[in-house]
Amino acid sequence: MKEKPKVYALSTCPYCKRTKRFLEDHKIAYDCTDVDLLDDAEQDKILEKIEKMTGKRSFPVVIIGEEIIVGHDEDRLRKALRL
């Protein structure tokens, strides 16, 4: 894999936690941003980016190469990561 998967999450969201746990369980190194913990300016910037990519403000968002996965979806994660 060229780039590490990127995860946008909320620190309190259990589905986001499951996605992070899934990646960790499969020894996948990833970058993660807990969007709710960012300062306002940074948060606006990231939310705009997420809305542009996914059309909504729903978490988690996982970016694996060209693939964008919204919500905790182990089947799609497996497929995108070729597990």
Partner 1 sequence: MNGKQLERVYCPVCQAKFRFVEGWKEGSMVICPICGQKLRLNRSSDGWVGDRPEKGTEKEIRERVDEYARLHGYVFKDMKEELIQGLLGKNRRFKDFYCPCRMEHVPEYMCPCKPTRGGDVERDGKCYCGLFWKKA
Which residues bind to partner 1, rule: CB under 8 A?
Answer: 10-15, 17, 35-37, 43, 47, 57, 59
Q: Are the beta carbons of 6 and 30 closer than 8 angstroms?
A: yes
61 versus 81: smaller Cβ distance to partner 1: 61
57 versus 78: smaller Cβ distance to partner 1: 57
Q: What is the enclosing helix (H) or strand (E) of 40?
A: helix 40-54
36 versus 42: smaller Cβ distance to partner 1: 36
Q: How far is the CB of 7 from partner 1 (least distance, A)?
A: 15
Q: How far is the CB of 3 from partner 1 (least distance, A)?
A: 25
Closest CA to 81 of 34, 10, 8, 19: 19
Q: How far is the CB of 57 from partner 1 (least distance, A)?
A: 6
Closest CA to 36 of 59, 17, 70: 59
Q: Are the beta carbons of 49 and 42 closer than 8 angstroms?
A: no
